[in-house]
Amino acid sequence: MATIEDFQKLDIRVGKIISVADFPEARKPAYKLTIDLGPEIGLKQSSAQLVDYYSKQDLMNKYVLCVINFPPRKIGSFTSEVLTLGVPGPEHGCIVVQPERPTQLGARLY
């Protein structure tokens, strides 16, 4: 069983997607995202398998939740610096986890 201390080790922050690019080199269909996590953290890159439910335009300016304290992960020639959180959709694919309302960029989940 996980403890509250285990949960507190995860640094989950609010970011805003500011650019979305195709990622044709990925094994599974994905986008390359640039996410603004506020002035303290800055811009970070993420690869996310969101193509089943979102167009690039749908994702622009969307607020998302990201784990920022995992080590960077190399995906082909791309380095994903944060994990963009999602949940399974009804027919596979991924639905992005986002705050109900816009909030301060970089705000920490608690």
CA distance 99 to 106: 12
pLDDT digit string (tens) for 1-42? 999 999 999 999 999 999 999 999 999 999 999 999 999 999
CA distance 13 to 103: 11
Mean pLDDT across the stretch 34-51? 97
| Residues above pLDDT 90, as percent of the chain | 94
Q: List the domain boundaries for the chain.
A: 4-96
The number of beta carbons lying within 10 Å of the beta carbon of residue 43 is 13
Mean pLDDT, rounded, of the chain? 96
Contact 66, 84 (CB under 8 A): yes
Establish how many alpha carbons lie within 13 A of residue 40's alpha carbon, considering only the half-sphere containing its beta carbon.
9
CATH number listed for the domain at residues 4-96: 2.40.50.140
Q: pTM here? A: 0.95
